[in-house]
Each structure stands twice: as C-alpha cells, then as structure tokens.
A and B are shown apart, each in its own frame.
Chain A
Amino acid sequence: MATLTDQVPSALSPKDKKWWTDLRSPRKWSRTTRRNFITGISFASLWILGFLFFNLYPMLASLYYSFTEYHILKPKIWVGLANYVQLFHDPLFYKALTNTTYMVIVGVTMSLLLSFTFAVFLNFKVPGQSIFRVIYFLPSIVPTVASTLLFIWVLNPNQGYLQMMLGKFGIVGPDWFKDPNWSKPGLLLLSLWGMGQTIMIYLSGLQDVPRSLLEAAELDGASWFQRLRYITIPMVSPITLFMIIIGIIGMFQYFTQAYVFSHAGGAASALGSPLQSTLFYSVYLYSIGFQQLNLGYASALAWILFIIIMACTVVMLRYSTRWTYY
C-alpha cells in the first residue's frame, strides 16, 4: 500500500494533464462515462459539500476579512492592505515569527535526528525488542493536554523529578516557566517525548530498505556506518522530506501545548508568558482573533501563515530532488 510519503510530492506536481482532457467536452461523453460521472459525483457528494462549505468558503471568506477592519458584531469596513501593512510594523508579529522559527529549526531538526537514531536502535535484534517499541511509541498517543500538564509537573523546579535527578549530578536546573530562555527548550523536551510516531515511520522505512543492497555493500566490505550513510539514509530520504514538511506545518500550528503551558505560571499569566517567549504564531493569532476579537487582523495573520507554509513546502519539494531518492 502506498503511503502518503509517496503520494504527496507526486500529487502536488501533476505532471500528466489527463484530468482536464477528460473534462473538456462533456457532450461527447459516452453513456457509461456519463453514468460513471453521476455515480462518482454522488458518492463524493458529501465530501464535495464539505469542501465547499468547510474549506473553500472559509478560505475565501478569511481572505476577504483580511482586507477589512472586522470586529465581531460590528459591520466590516474595507481597509485594503492596511492589515498587512500594520502586520509588518507589529513587533509582536515578529516575536511570534521568531519564536515559531526557533521551534521549526531546532525542534524539527532535533526530532528528526533523534527519531532516526531511536529508529535505528529499535531495529536492533535484541531480546524484548517489541516491548521497547511499545515504550517508545506510547507517549505519542497521550492526549496533548495531559502530556503538557505532566511535563509542567515533571519540570517543576521544586517538586519535579527532572530537577531531582539533575541535582544528583550537582546541576541546578533552570526554572522552566519563569525563565524566558528556558521555556522553549522545555516545550521542545515535551515534543521530543511524543515523537514516537516519527520513530515508527522511520522504523518502517528502515525495514523497507532492501536487504539485498545492504548485503551487497557488506560483501564489498562497507562498514556498518558506511552502510548507514550511503544506503540507509538515502533510502529513507523520502520519509525525511515528508517529516520535514509535516513538521513545519505542525510547528506553525503549534498551539495547545503553548496555551496550557503559559497558563501554568498561574491564572493571571497571559498567553505567551514568560515574557512572550512562548508566543508562537498560532497563539498570537488566537489571542488577536478570539481574545481581542480583531477578526480582520487575525485573518491577515492566518493568510500570512498559509503563505509561509505553502512557500516552505514548495521550497522543500523543489530542493529535495537534490537529496531525496525515490
């Protein structure tokens, strides 16, 4: 069964133009084609309605909102590009963008490196292999709010076990919630704890590496590391590409953990606390849209987010041909 990994790049670059030649001349369709068309449309009708109402309409509507001054319950006022201009002078927008970029670069890189390493570990033939796989995977299915609360407690400077363990090595751990330099690493630790799904995807990729290739290299005298570097890593490169794209999209939508985390410092603490260090893009968007109810500005933020995600994806796909092998 083909996975998304294989599908996304090919689907996004439709090389064959068949789809529109089909549609060109509905009058010339044979009876079978016409019947199939009606059958297909009716089976897909729920999704088509959903696409129109829950994807296309909101997408266009938010584009329209982004050109207006729109506070809920008040009429919309057309302001043209004013929201976008304001955005480029908004220091909090840059703060949110910087924070998110940090998470994307540090978070995605670490998660991919560690996931791959752990996948290699889990591929070792050792007793209890399946138990280890379960242990590594389980954290990823813990509900986000529960795992975030757990990490707030684990990282607690006085009663958390991490601090206790660091203390045994004579290290005084930071105050993860009050110190703006340490809040993002704390959140990264949490996201690394839940990287089991990435590990599993890599593991299945490792298992799909043709044994014959590895054996041929081995007979030619390639060391374990050489086989990893020149066979395994290139063979899993489509997965890496896919995980980078998914990771970027995920990090730009990073919300729940930051929301719960910034409420950990006490009920009075604002979103993004301490000192806006956890003010991520989606958190900022939420606070503009649903706390300040400035829907026009929030829509502009949303569209910038969408453009960034699209741009990252296109760039990744475009430059991936240099390092991915299908």
Chain B
Amino acid sequence: MKKNVNEIIDMPGTDPALRSLHPVGSETIFKSRAWYRSLKILRSPFQLLLLVIGSLFFFLPFLWMLSTALKSDLDIFRTPPTWLPYDIKYVNVNGQSLPLYNVTQNGLTQQLASISMKKGVGVFVDPANPNQQLNIKMIYATPILVVSPRWANFIDAITTVNQPGSGINFFTYIKNSLILSFFNIIGTLISCTLAGYAFSRVKWPGRDIMFILVLSTMMLPFQVTMIPLYVFFSKIHWTNTFLPLTVPAFFGNAFMIFLLRQFFLTIPEEMCDAARVDGASDWQIFTKIVLPLSKPVIATVTIFTFLGTWNDFLGPLLYLNNPKLFTMSIGLQDYQGHYSASWNLLMAASVIFTVPIIVAFFFAQRTFIEGVKLTGLKE
C-alpha cells in the first residue's frame, strides 16, 4: 500500500525542511489515487476487527472472573454456564423471604412461592393470596431466575475462616502481604539506590567488574541458591518468620540496581561536579541532587518490588508453614485446597487479590510500561 506524499510529510517525525518543501495540501506532484483512498477507509475497520478479536482473548477471562465472583453457590455449577450471575427470585410473603417458582399445572402457569418441600412435594403459596397453601409435586415447578449479582461473595471471601477454629481469614493474608511488601520496598530502595549510585556516579577501580557481577547474578536461578539459603535460615530459626522474605531485600536486587544505575547515568555529570567543586561530599550529592531528581525511577522500583512481593509464591511456600503468616498467594492456594468447590468465593478472593495491582497500574501506567520496557521484568 503506497502512501500519498502529503501523508508522509504530515507524519510526525518528518523533517520540517521536507514539510516546507511540500506544503500540506499541495497535490501537484503526486496526485492521490482514488483506489488507495478507498483501500485506506477499508483498512481501519479491518485493523479494528483484528484488535477486537485479540482483546476478546485477553479480556474475557477477566469478565469470567468477575461474573463468577458474583454468582451464587448454585449458579456456578449450572451447565451450560452463563455469563451473567443468576439467582432465584425471592418474594416477601408475610415477612418471610421465599423463593419464587413457575408452577405449571393443567396447562396453567402460576408464579408461586415455595415454603417447604418434602419427598418431591412442595408446599407453595400464592404471593397474592398468602393464606392458601398448595401441595404440588416439585416436577411441575421450575425456579424463576433473575440476574442478581451476589456482592456478598466479596465479604464472604474475606471473612471465611480458612482452617476451622483458627480464626485466620483473608484479612490475615492481606495484612501479611502488605507487611512483606512494605519491608521489601523499604529495603530495596535503601540498598539499591546506594548501589546504583556507586555504579554510576563514583569512578572507582573495580567498578566495572562489580557491575558485571551484578548483571550475572540476574542469570543465577533461584533454584540454585534456595536450598543452602533454606538450610541456613532454618539453622538460625528464621523459618516461620518474615525475616527470610524481607532481610535479603536490604542487601540489593540486581534488576533494581541496574534500573537505578541506568537512570542515574542520565543525570548530567556536570551537576554532580559542580556540587563537588562547592565541597559537597558524595553522600550530599546522593541525597541532595541524585535522589530528588530520580523520582520516576524510584516509583518504578517501588511498584515492581511491590508486584514481585505481592506475587511471590515459592518464597512464602518454602519459609511459611504457619497459616497465621500466609501471604495472599499461598493463602489463596491453600484456600483452594480446602474449598475446591467454592469457585465463586475463590474468584471473589482472586479479584480482591488482583485489584490492588490493577489500581496501582491505573495510577502509574507510565511507570509500569517504562519499567517493563527497561527490564523485560518477568516474575
């Protein structure tokens, strides 16, 4: 598909000199072709269609998660499943909330509320005439379904006690995950900004080899270090505490050091030199010049550390056996083991688990995308 020269000139990024050569609107040299115009009109909807098909793949699972989280216990096991959460319609009869049924008798369909049922025979009452009770076989009755999201699932998911008698629920897990995230963020920020400064703004012998070491620790799989670390932490009785999951953060993280170093390198050297000439120490340059200028990258590091900690599964799985200390990740997994049928509650808990991250994303979209581009960070 060829583009009209005017379009090329119009495109952002084109040399302004070229623009002045061909003022917009002049079609004297290359006449626009009618067939190309029509093709272009067709192209956009086609591209849109491709994008919509793709987004179905990415978005439908989200919808499914939300719709399941809003379904009642009965509704989740309906085959075929429905996208909207349905529930039995209830009516108020004499102060009692009773389920409403469609009852077909002798070709006549009535809406009746069910009071009780026994051996396939239900006791029904007409909501309009509450004093008269009818005994009808249940095979003639089908429940009336209405779309009704069950928001209470979210409360149930949080308050359901995971192991009977322990009093531990999702609040405990949320609290634990937040504690871990907090200390990991603090630790990473302290240790990695310092190291990032050392690797970017101080010229010291051996710096480059050290930086290669930083990069090569990224290659070291956790599986190699996890066994000795586990042995070590259990020898000093740190298992079943948060210490093995927070203390290492205070000693640097290769990805974050890399990220910070790259950003610090973009701060003009002249600024630091000027401060140095004025008698500032490295510590002063670090705290008064470099850190205040590095808010964007500090935001990136904060968010990615939060994501990493919130998401971490293997670490807590190794070190935490006490359900009181479970994080969201292993709490949710554990919960699935206990209540494997309560998909509505599981999905509600998953939504609660996911929402903080989605919220963080919408508050700091740029930071997220920049961070991803810079590091290609994967869990």
Contact = CB atoms under 8 A, between A and B. Distances in A.
Interface stretch (A50-58, A82-90, A228-236, A318-326): A50-58
Given A259-B313, A309-B221, A39 B262 contact: no
A245 B225 CA distance: 20
Contact of B307 (A5, A7, A141, A301): A141
Interface string B25-62: 00000000000000000001001101100110111111
Contact of A141 (B13, B357, B376): B357
Contacts of B8: 215, 218
B376 A159 contact: no
Interface string B1-30: 111000010010110000000000000000
In this complex, the member of A49, A146, A253 whose beta carbon has the largest number of chain B beta carbons within 10 angstroms is A146
B18 to A, nearest CB: 10
Given A145-B353, A303-B224, A126 B44 contact: yes
Majority DSSP secondary structure for residues of B touching A:
helix
B194 A196 contact: no
B122 interface: no
Nearest to B208: A19
A1 B266 contact: yes
A11 B58 contact: no
Interface in B318-338: 318, 328-330, 332-333, 336-337
A195 B116 CA distance: 52
A118 interface: yes
A44 B195 contact: yes
Given A121-B51, A295-B227, A144 B354 contact: no
B318 A126 contact: no
A112 interface: no
Given A158-B79, A303-B224, A47 B252 contact: yes
B164 interface: no
Interface residues of A, number: 118
Interface stretch (B90-98, B126-134, B212-220): B212-220
A260 B331 CA distance: 12
B268 interface: no
Given A50-B251, A54-B248, A138-B361, A159 B77 contact: yes
B313 A256 contact: yes
A315 interface: no
Interface residues of B, number: 115
B329 A310 contact: no
Interface of A: 1-5, 7-8, 11-12, 14, 18-20, 22-23, 26, 29, 33, 36-37, 39-51, 53-55, 57-59, 61-62, 65, 72, 118, 121-122, 124, 126-128, 132, 134-139, 141-146, 149-151, 153-154, 158-161, 164, 167, 193, 196-198, 200-201, 204, 211, 215, 218, 221, 223-224, 242-243, 246, 249-250, 252-253, 255-256, 259-260, 263-264, 266-267, 282, 285-286, 289-290, 295, 298-299, 301-303, 305-306, 309-310, 313
27 contacts: A1-B263, A3-B376, A40-B198, A43-B202, A47-B251, A54-B229, A55-B217, A62-B228, A65-B228, A124-B47, A124-B50, A138-B358, A145-B313, A145-B353, A150-B65, A153-B343, A159-B77, A167-B80, A200-B372, A201-B376, A242-B376, A250-B378, A252-B221, A264-B340, A285-B223, A305-B223, A306-B224
